[in-house]
Every structure is written in C-alpha cells, then in structure tokens.
Structure 1
Amino acid sequence: MIRTPWRRREEPLDRAELARLLPAPGDPELSSDRLSGLEEHLMTEIRNRTPDTAPDTAPATSTGAPPAGLSEGDRAPRPARRSGRRPVLVGVAAALALAAAGVAGLAGSPDGSGGPESPGRAVTPPAGAVPAPVVQVVRGSTAGLAGAVADISGAAARAELPEPGPGQFLYVRSLVSWLVSWEGADGKNRSYVDEIHPREVWMSPDGSKGRLIEPYKKDLDRDGITLDDAEGGERTLNSPSYDYLRTLPTDPDLLVKKVYDETEGMGNGPDQQAFSTIGDLLREQVVPPKLAAGLYRAAARIPGVVLVDDSVDAAGRHGVAIARTDEEDGSRTEWIFDRETYTYLGERTVQTRDVEGVKAGTVTGHTAVTDRAVVDAVKQRPAGSAPGERAASPATPSAGT
C-alpha cells in the first residue's frame, strides 16, 4: 500500500495546526475596568459550579479504518475524534487566560463584533476547505446485491489492462476530498472538507519505487514526494504491490478467509475491517482483473454489505454502490460503479447518524478514479491525461442521494 501521509481527517484540528492555518489573532489591550469586569464575572461562574459539573474525562475512542498518499488500510486506524466539550478551568489565572484568549479572537474578527453569533461575523474555515456536502441518506438493501455483484465482478474480469513490464510504472489519477472537522470560535463543530482536487500516484510493480503528486496540499512540493521503499519491507494486504497482488488467490472464499485472517484484531471489528481492507485494494491500485473480480465477490460475503441504488463520486458521476456502515461511528462507505458498464468509478463516505458534531448526511469522503494506466517512467502520464493541477470544481456534486 502507498505509505505516505493520507488526506483524511476526521477529528478537530489540533491547536498548533489551527494556528498555522488561520491568520494570527489580534493583540488587544483591555482597559482596567473591562479586565476587572471579566475577572468578577468569571470568578462568579467558578464559584457557582457544583461538584457534578466536572469535565468529561472519558478518553476518546478510535473510530477505526482515509487519507493523501496512503490507502485506507495502509495507515493505522484513523485518529480518534476529540470531544467538543472542554474541561472546566479552575483558578483565577486560568479563567483570565481564557478570557484574554476569547477577547483576542473577537478582536481578530473582520467586524470586531462582540460574539461569535453576532450578525455579520463569519467564522473563518480552514484554508482550502469548503462546507461539507450534505445529502439524503438512502437506505441500502441486500435485495439485488447478488445480481449487481455478479455484473460488477464480470466487468472487472473482462477489463483489458496491460501487464506492466520491467522498468514500467502503474499510474493512477484520482480526484479526492476528505473531511476536516473543525471546531469554530463559538465552540460548535462545523464540518468542512478539502476542495476536490487531483492526486496522482506512480508505483513500480514491486513497490520499491514511486511518486505522489498532489499540488493542492501545501505541505507537499509541487514536484511531489517520493514513495521509494529502500527497505523493501514485507508485502501484505495492508502494504501490497502489484507483484504481491498477482500471488493472491482469486477464489472469493479463499480471499475472504485471507482478509479476515490477516486483519484480525484491527479496526472497528472484523467485518468492518475486512470491508475496509478490500476497499483499500481497489481505491488506488491497478489490480489484476481476475483478482478484482474475486475481491468483489468476497466483499459480498461480508455481513452488513448492502446495495445502494444511487451514489455520486467526486467527479459528480452517478452510479450504484456496494456499501457497508461502520456500526461504531455510523459512517457508510460506498464503492460506486457505472450503471451500464459496471466499472469502478470511485468511493463516497456518508455519515448515517449524528456523531460528535458531524451531522447525518454529511459527505466526509469523496474519490473518483479518472485514469489507471501503465507508463514508462515516473511523472509520465498516459496520452490525454490532464496534469495534476487543481480541479475546477465538482467540489459540491449533486446532493440528491
């Protein structure tokens, strides 16, 4: 699997990153009268608190199962979302520090208004982020699943992909967008996502050499970053190469057993981890056709997998979807396929219920594969493929499903 920083964020930004993304706040000076008033008010609040209003100290739990550079199975389980509740600060110094920070944030607002909900005051989103799309959550069903999987696996088996030769590279170009769950100045969680943008990956068949170009990401050079694996680590389902994938069985019963055995103890339960692992193999890989057909049939054997009649990828293309909902965090991952050709289009992740400030229907992840090919060199693109510049804007595809 491609071992680079992944793009998916599903927790509030930490303070250091937030400070880096947002403009520096102002440095207001409070008058002595104003400072005394704030101190008196905060001390009154502290005295009036009862012992049972102690802070929520329950540790955040990992939500399991992406992310730009890694496929989802290549990273550790995604970071736990931190609770939006903040601990009570006890003591005059802490109270005054909190007051000063709050006033500084207000002074840094464009209109200098007195509160986050005041008319005309906009809470600034993270740089490069847009409000997350919200869609209607359509119920999935097992009705029609077997027939759809048969069509999808049949199309995968018939796919004509050139076999990479010595010195060649597997090339995948996608459009991607992932969640930035950001807590605003008023303490309320707001869901933003990256603007949908291109991402290109080149990998040698043995996985030893590669490159990622994602110029949208400020922390990545426009020339990309190397994916070379000088150590040549052991290949697994969570760190595969094309050569490794060619060694896997294509029988769906053998595949599903291998997936469960190799991912035991990972993620949010065996069924969800099995589904996520297969999805990782499909998202940003060139998979041998017969293996891809077997993987789809294997996925259909996982409990909880359903067919969704309509989903939309990051390029705005509609299709049918094989999907599964993570019982722990309520996120449903949908693999989207063209209605007529049954080719893989991309992936969408939708929140099916309110969880930690992320509302039901929020699209927390989007991908769309626009090119898969074999090329002769890193940074070489197939004829007619667009370079990895910022996407025009299918950033908010139709919200009908």
Structure 2
Amino acid sequence: MIRTPWRRREEPLDLAELDRLLPAPGDPELSSDRLSGLEEHLMTEIRNRKPDTAPDTSPGAPPAGVHEGDHASRPARRPGRRPVLVGAAAALALAAAGVAALAGGPVGPGGPGSPGRAVAPPAGAVPAPVVQVVRGSTAGLADAVADISGAAARAELPEPGPGQFLYVRSEVSWLVSWEGADGKNRSYVDRIHPREVWMSPDGSKGWLMEPGKEPIGRDGITLDDPEGGERTLNSPSHDYLKTLPTDPELLLKKIYDETRGMGNGPDQQAFSTIGDLLREQVVPPKPAAGLYRAAARIPGVVLVDDSVDAAGRHGIAIARTDEADGSRTEWIFDRDTYTYLGERTVQTRDVEGIEAGTVKGHTAVTDRAVVDAVKQRPAGSAPGERAAAPATPSAGT
C-alpha cells in the first residue's frame, strides 16, 4: 500500500471557514458573585500589604463590618478602615495576574498561590476557635436580668470632673475572613490584644490606642469631635447617657424609634445598640439598669448558662441570635457579682464558609476609670499590661 506523504497546504487559509468549524468562544465576563469575591479579596490583600521598608507589626485586619465580619454593630466611635480605592478594571487585571502573589509568594507549582494551597493569612492572625453552641433559653432570664440590673443600679462607678476623661481598657479579638487560592473561605481571628479608649464626658475629645492596627498606629489616633455633633444612641457620650429614661418600656421605645430602618431588623438592631453602649462606655448606674431591663423585653433574647470572655472568664450571658446571618451575640456577666465582663459572638449555623460554633468576636473589659488627660492610665496600669488571658483563643473559649 502506497501512502501519500503529507504535504503542506499552499492555498491561503480560509479564516471564515475555520471560524465556523471552531466552537463559539465563551463569555469572558465574570459572574457578579465571583467579581465581588475577587474585589473583596484584592482589597483585603491591599489593606494587609505594607511597604518593604516598614516592619510588619499588624496582627491582622479587624472585623469589619465585619466585623467585619458580622460586627456592623461595633462601637460607633471605633474608626473604620480607609481602604485604598481601586477601580473594577484594575481589580480584574490584578486578579487575572494572580492576586495571591501579593501575599508574598510566587504563583506556580508549590507556591502559596498555586491551586489547592491557601494564601497565607494576615500577619498575626490565628485560626478562629470553634466551640460547642450552648442552647439558650428564656427560662431563668427574668431572674437573671433582675440580678444584673440590680447590681448595675448599686454599682459605684467613677464620675468624671471638669477636664477629666473616662478611660476604658479592653482585650479584644475580631474575625478576619480570608479566601485561599483554592477559592475557599477560611476563618481567622486577631490575636487577643489590648484596646484603650479615653473620652471626655461630653464626647468632644478622645483618643484611641489599639497596637498593631494599621490605621491607628503605635501612638493611637484622635477621637476629637471639634464640630460637637449631636449626641445620639449611636454616637453617645457620658453626659448623654445620663439623660436616658430609666423606665425600660420608655427606653426601649426610644431605642426602636431612633434606630428604625437600621441593621438586620428592629429587634436585632435594638439589641445591638444596647450592646454597643455597654461595650466601651461608663454607663451611669440607673440608665445601665434600665438598659438591661429593656433588653430583656426584646423578642428572641435568651439566657445562656455559660460563656467565656476574651480574658478567659466564665459567666452567664444575655444573648440574641441575628436571624439574618445566624451569629449570636452574648453579653457575659460574673456569676456571683453580676458585673459586666465582656462579649462574645458565636456562629450558630454554617453560613458563607463560616462553620457553626466559630467564635467571631471576643471582648473583655479589664478596667474602667477616670483620669486627668488622654493617654494617661490609672495607677497600676502599665502600657502593654493585659489581663490574664490565653495568648490565642483556645478551643474552649
């Protein structure tokens, strides 16, 4: 059998004919979900990327809004990040080039950006702890709230004089949601670290220190309000808190009225608003007692028998689950004295890559005092000093 040897075709290639033979090209446009995911991932990379000449001291990004996560209800005066604004075209170009390379490693087989291998998390972040979700109940809630509000009404809290400042020191840790090169979300949290706030009674002057946070810096940032804006539940001052009604029914009505249309529904927003006031304020005794009694009237509020704050202290908790995302916020109180200890947020169901039981946030109030100037600490409280707490969140906290 004689085979005819293959010969190079000398006729010009008919491109139109070839085009008909080939399959139609796919749509290069990314889905809105994938586009949003890439842009969010890029912004996270940019926020955590430092110049090569600067030492890397960041313990990770905050929740942001969450949260940051879930905490859109973080303290009203907590400064938000000011991320670099990048256009969608630039975001897609960087994503196509391999955003993972920004994390400090090559893209390719075996590198941090290679398929199936996670991009390194933000510096200082650790895997979020996962705990067993303890079921809450309304049984015993009324008695617990009576004890807590009674203790609050009897509390002897510092009262600032002219020119003085209220000082609140906490240990905090927030969720850092991180997407690996394989496209899967992984939950990390900041290492537990100190946060200090100084505020004048009228709220016009203040200072915040939270070491390791990029927008804040080592020396902190000002919280001054030179314009003297109107004080509200979402932008309170010590003087404003004194004016709150102490009757729980009237107080709760005021909260619902002022927060109408905010957050994930009126009940959750009312609970979050009260939690914000407790977390980083020195609430006068009678209004504090009224806030606790008002919280007990919010639908969905339950008593949790055991919770743990960021300093590792166990206590009972008043809690509510956000129906929108399944996160449960727990206000923790000492079992014997009913003193407010701190707050914990736990995911109660799997959602968006965060598994049930993940601890999304931790706080622990370790000091409340009156001082004479910003950056001044109470006697016996040294810079960097912290309460007895685990260096990182453990599985039991």
Structure 2: any 5+ residue segments left out of the alignment?
A: 1-37, 52-66, 82-91
Stretch deviating more after TM superposition (102-111 or 384-393): 102-111
Match for residue 21 of structure 1? 48
- CA shift in 2, pair 1:115/1:144, >3 Å: same
Match for residue 325 of structure 1? 321
Shift of 1:350: 0.4
Match for residue 107 of structure 1? 106
Match for residue 27 of structure 2? none
Shift of 1:112: 3.7
- CA shift in 2, pair 1:277/1:100, >3 Å: closer
Count the aligned residue pairs.
Answer: 337
Structure 1 SS opposite 2:377:
coil
**How far, CA to CA, are the matches of 2:386 and 2:180 in structure 1?**
27
Say whether the 8 Å CA contact 2:100–2:181 is kept in structure 1: no
Alignment of structure 1 residues 373-392 onto 2, 5 Å? 373-388=369-384
Structure 1: any 5+ residue segments left out of the alignment?
A: 1-10, 25-61, 79-94
Shift of 1:394: 2.1
Say whether the 8 Å CA contact 1:314–1:395 is kept in structure 2: no
Alignment of structure 1 residues 78-227 onto 2, 5 Å? 101=98, 107-108=106-107, 111-112=110-111, 115-117=114-116, 123-227=119-223
Shift of 1:23: 8.5
Shift of 1:386: 3.1
Aligned letter for 1:259?
A: I
**How far, CA to CA, are the matches of 1:218 and 1:77 in structure 2?**
11
**How far, CA to CA, are the matches of 1:75 and 1:103 in structure 2?**
30
- CA shift in 2, pair 1:13/1:129, >3 Å: farther
**How far, CA to CA, are the matches of 2:142 and 2:369 in structure 1?**
29
- CA shift in 2, pair 1:124/1:289, >3 Å: same
Calculate the aligned-residue CA RMSD, in Å.
3.4
1:66 and 2:62 correspond: no
Say whether the 8 Å CA contact 2:311–2:388 is kept in structure 1: no
* 1:283-330 CA distance string (max 9 Å, x none): 000000111111000000000000000001001111000000000000
**How far, CA to CA, are the matches of 1:280 and 1:76 in structure 2?**
14
- CA shift in 2, pair 1:267/1:107, >3 Å: same
- Structure of greater Rg: 2
Shift of 1:107: 3.2
- CA shift in 2, pair 1:227/1:174, >3 Å: same
Identical pairs, percent: 80
Aligned letter for 1:234?
A: E
Shift of 1:222: 1.5
Structure 2 SS opposite 1:198:
strand
Aligned equivalent of 1:351, options 317, 342, 347: 347
Aligned letter for 1:357?
A: G
**How far, CA to CA, are the matches of 2:392 and 2:302 in structure 1?**
25
**How far, CA to CA, are the matches of 2:164 and 2:101 in structure 1?**
55
* 1:160-181 CA distance string (max 9 Å, x none): 0122110010000001111111
1:239 and 2:244 correspond: no
- CA shift in 2, pair 1:12/1:281, >3 Å: farther
- CA shift in 2, pair 1:114/1:293, >3 Å: closer
Say whether the 8 Å CA contact 1:65–1:267 is kept in structure 2: no
Shift of 1:227: 0.6
**How far, CA to CA, are the matches of 1:171 and 1:113 in structure 2?**
43
**How far, CA to CA, are the matches of 1:96 and 1:338 in structure 2?**
53
- CA shift in 2, pair 1:175/1:184, >3 Å: same
Structure 2 SS opposite 1:279:
helix
* 1:324-366 CA distance string (max 9 Å, x none): 0000000000000011111000000000011111111111111
Match for residue 288 of structure 1? 284
- CA shift in 2, pair 1:294/1:110, >3 Å: farther
Match for residue 85 of structure 1? none
TM-score, normalised to structure 2's length?
0.76
**How far, CA to CA, are the matches of 1:256 and 1:348 in structure 2?**
23
